[in-house]
Amino acid sequence: MVRCTCVEAAWIAGLRRGDASAFDRVFTAYRRRLYAYLARMTRRRDVAEDLLQETFLRLAQHARRLDADTRLGAWLFTVAHRLVVSWARAQAVRAQLAGDLPLRESPHDARSPLEALADSQVQLALERAFAQLAPAYREVALLVGVEGMQPTEVAQILGQKPEAVRQRLARARIQLAEALGEHCPAAWRTHDDRR
């Protein structure tokens, strides 16, 4: 098991004491990463803000009960993942009750708020390609690729077996290469051709 860093250990000690400055440090360290994950999973900034608030509310409420060796990143992303799952379920139920089709991603010819942040065609293509990934694949791609987490850690966060994470990552790579089309890096195209 990966041990938490010394800095995180100090933050956790502070959180367990109810120290607001320790909370602020954790918030500063993780807010951007969590928000990016939530925004790319929900594809909505307003929902991502709500879920970000809920994630940190839960951290604040559980602060005194955290174990000394808690890995904060994994703890926070586990909460965020569960919130995304609950939100997606609620969305599906709402769509069903409305007799509507499930919510779809933005059409290709319109820029979503996330895509509007892209500075270049490559960034735009990449953001769209990530959006086209099935949520289960997108999540693994974001946690391993963007967050740099180990597959075993991601497996714990998602409550999956490491083998399932490995398969999802491999499939995400194939899907992403297809979605990227001409913007796909040469190394990826070669990889895809070999399969």
Which residues are near other proteins by CB under 8 A? Answer: 15, 18, 20, 23-24, 27, 31-32, 35-36, 39-40, 48-49, 52-53, 56-57, 59-64, 114, 117-119, 122-123, 126-127, 130, 141-142, 144-146, 148, 151, 165-166, 169-170, 172-173, 176, 185, 187-188, 191
Cβ pair 115, 130 in contact under 8 A: no
CA distances from 78 to 110, 122, 126, 138 (A): 32, 30, 25, 15
* Closest separation in Å from C-beta 141 to other proteins: 6
Q: How far is CA 118 from the centre of its chain?
A: 18
Query: Which of helix, strand or coil describes residue 86?
Result: helix
Nearer to other proteins, 88 or 179 (CB): 179
Residue 145 makes CB contacts below 8 A (sequence gap 6+) with none
Nearer to other proteins, 101 or 108 (CB): 108
Q: Sign of torsion, CA 179 110 126 171? A: negative
* Closest separation in Å from C-beta 122 to other proteins: 6
Nearer to other proteins, 9 or 45 (CB): 45
* Closest separation in Å from C-beta 42 to other proteins: 12
* Closest separation in Å from C-beta 100 to other proteins: 27
Nearer to other proteins, 17 or 89 (CB): 17
Nearer to other proteins, 148 or 181 (CB): 148
Query: Which of helix, strand or coil describes residue 63?
Result: helix
Rounded-to-integer distance, Cα 141 and Cα 171, Å = 10
